[in-house]
Amino acid sequence: MSHSLIQIETQGEHGEIAVVRLHRPSKRNALNDALILAVRNAFAGLPRSVRAAVLCGAGEHFCAGLDLSELSERDAGEGLHHSRMWHEALNQVQYGPVPVVAALHGAVVGGGLELASACHIRVADETAFYALPEGTRGIFVGGGGSVRIPRLIGVARMTDMMLTGRVYDASEGERAGLAQYLVPAGGALDKALELARRIATNAPLTNYALMHALPRIAEQSADHGYLTEAMMAAIAQSAPDAKARVRAFLEGRAAKVKKS
């Protein structure tokens, strides 16, 4: 499946991996309204065979953020609805049908970092750099960044990035928690695909719990979190899939945990 601004391809024997590629390289994958809606539609409409997805960008950069040429004459009400449209699209990435691994390279800035933050795992190559130029452009994040980015790197680091225009390089970004994996230049997509293939073999209910229960438990009080955890654990372990996997280990048919 392919739209002009976004390309979607499935991989794997049963089409279990989707690669969703932002495809507006001449504008560094800047997110105009059409592209942000295409992102929403891509994740809302993934084929049912898909168990894990990779999100990447065409060209030299992952994403240059909001298309600044569209930031023209919106009044306050229009700005509110525009931001809510971004929220809806990025929520579709975070709370869509399957875990999403972001493969990052080059600029991961502004709304591009907001989009990467909505993914479940981020893999960056050595060319990646991160910034929130909203601060210096006289605007504010509007794609959920003020909610998601502090959860990755803390309020103090995000405040610094926005107040001073600080740019994190790839290794600083990995140390700060913006990416979970750092790989050589050109290697992000392959690593992201390797992780997605592994994720696709998990029991679907486990992936569901990690996408939908874990982030909510992390927002609950400890007391409420323990109860939600117990209920999620009970549901996950009751699935035939879980029982079969545990039996396979006990009968010596499943892999042991090994140091890598």
Q: Which one of 53, 141, 149, 152 is in contact with ligand 1HE (CB under 6 A)? A: 141
Would you count residue 40 as binding ligand 1HE (CB under 6 A)? no
Would you count residue 60 as binding ligand 1HE (CB under 6 A)? yes
Sheet containing 107-109, strands listed edge to edge, beginning at the edge strand earlier in sequence: 107-109, 129-131, 168-169
Nearer to ligand 1HE, 59 or 215 (CB): 59
Residues 6+ apart with CB under 8 A from 87: 143, 144
State the nearest-atom distance from the C-beta of 206 to ligand 1HE, in Å: 32
Residue range at the interface with ligand 1HE (CB under 6 A); choices 14-22, 63-71, 119-127, 198-206 = 63-71
Nearer to ligand 1HE, 61 or 191 (CB): 61
Amino acid at 52: A
Check if 251 is active-site: no
State the nearest-atom distance from the C-beta of 158 to ligand 1HE, in Å: 13
Q: Is 158 helix (H, G, I), strand (E, B) or coil?
A: helix
Would you count residue 28 as binding ligand 1HE (CB under 6 A)? yes
Check if 126 is active-site: no
Q: Which residue is nearest to ligand 1HE (CB)?
A: 110
Report d(CA 208, CA 211) in Å as an integer. Answer: 5
Radius of gyration of the chain (CA): 19
Q: Which of 16, 70, 78, 114 is catalytic?
A: 114
String of DSSP letters for 134-156:
HHHHT----SSHHHHHHHHH-HH
**How would you class 184 by CB atoms within 10 Å of its CB: exposed for 0-12, middle for 13-18, buried for 19 or more?**
exposed
Structure tokens at 144: 């959920």
In the complex, which residues of this chain contact ligand 1HE (CB under 6 A)?
27-28, 30, 60-61, 64-69, 86, 107, 109-111, 133-134, 137, 139, 141-143
Catalytic positions, written as ranges: 114, 134
